[in-house]
Amino acid sequence: MQLPSALLEQAVNEFSKLPGIGKKTALRLVLHLLKQEPEKVEAFGAALLRMRKDTHICQRCYNISDSLLCSICSNPMRKQELICVVESIRDVIAIESTQQYNGTYHVLGGIISPLDGVGPDQLYIEPLVKRVQEDGIQELIFALNPTIQGDTTIYYIQKKIQPSTVKVTTIARGIAFGGELEYADEMTLARSLQHRMPVENLKV
């Protein structure tokens, strides 16, 4: 791509480093910014910089936060004795969007995956075990992707917290809403049967 300005090219290069942004899209975004008032572009840049410099990782659950404890951990209305264990901050955002969960979270920062060189020590598993042992936790809900790595991680943590009276559950696995039975793989279909639920629990 031949650009008439080295500065323009530099900006395009920076944008195209973002996930899902190719050179053409980067150019479109940069040209859009070029048309804006300088103050607007300054505010745009400042917001990014502040986000990067001033956000923290919550000391308790490893969610993203503007202070040492995140807005969920410091909210007395949330059930602090309930922990939903997730892989990443994106999962917290996804579950929060459902507005159906009133407990806290624990972000592992990944899942155990020996093939990718990720072992338990690289994840926030120890602090989770500590929370379970010291904070009067009543239930751990695993909301990890239903994969071998996800199950390995659940198994590992489940062993690690023993002996314990904490209830350990995973989110249901089955046919996706709007999905079709005949296209579901056998494992999903089998699990859907295993985890069948009473019809009165259906929310229509």
Per CB under 5 A, residues contacting Zn ion are: 58, 60-61, 63, 70, 73
Q: Of 94, 77, 86, which is closest to residue 128 (Cα–Cα)?
A: 86
Of 60 and 111, the one with the shorter C-beta distance to Zn ion is 60
DSSP 72-126: TTT-TTSEEEEEEEESSHHHHHHHHHHT---EEEEE-SS--BGGGTB-GGGTTHH
Minimum Å gap between C-beta 143 and Zn ion is 15
**What three-state secondary structure class fits 26?**
helix
Of 30 and 92, the one with the shorter C-beta distance to Zn ion is 92
**Cα 93 from chain centroid (whole Å):** 6
CA 19 – CA 24 distance, rounded (Å): 13
Of 36 and 59, the one with the shorter C-beta distance to Zn ion is 59
Minimum Å gap between C-beta 74 and Zn ion is 7
Minimum Å gap between C-beta 30 and Zn ion is 36
Of 104 and 149, the one with the shorter C-beta distance to Zn ion is 104
Q: Of 61, 67, 44, 66, which is closest to residue 95 (Cα–Cα)?
A: 61
Of 12 and 73, the one with the shorter C-beta distance to Zn ion is 73
Backbone angles phi, psi at 25, to 5 degrees: -65, -40
Minimum Å gap between C-beta 100 and Zn ion is 19
Burial class (CB in 10 A: 0-12, 13-18, 19+), 70: buried
Minimum Å gap between C-beta 170 and Zn ion is 21
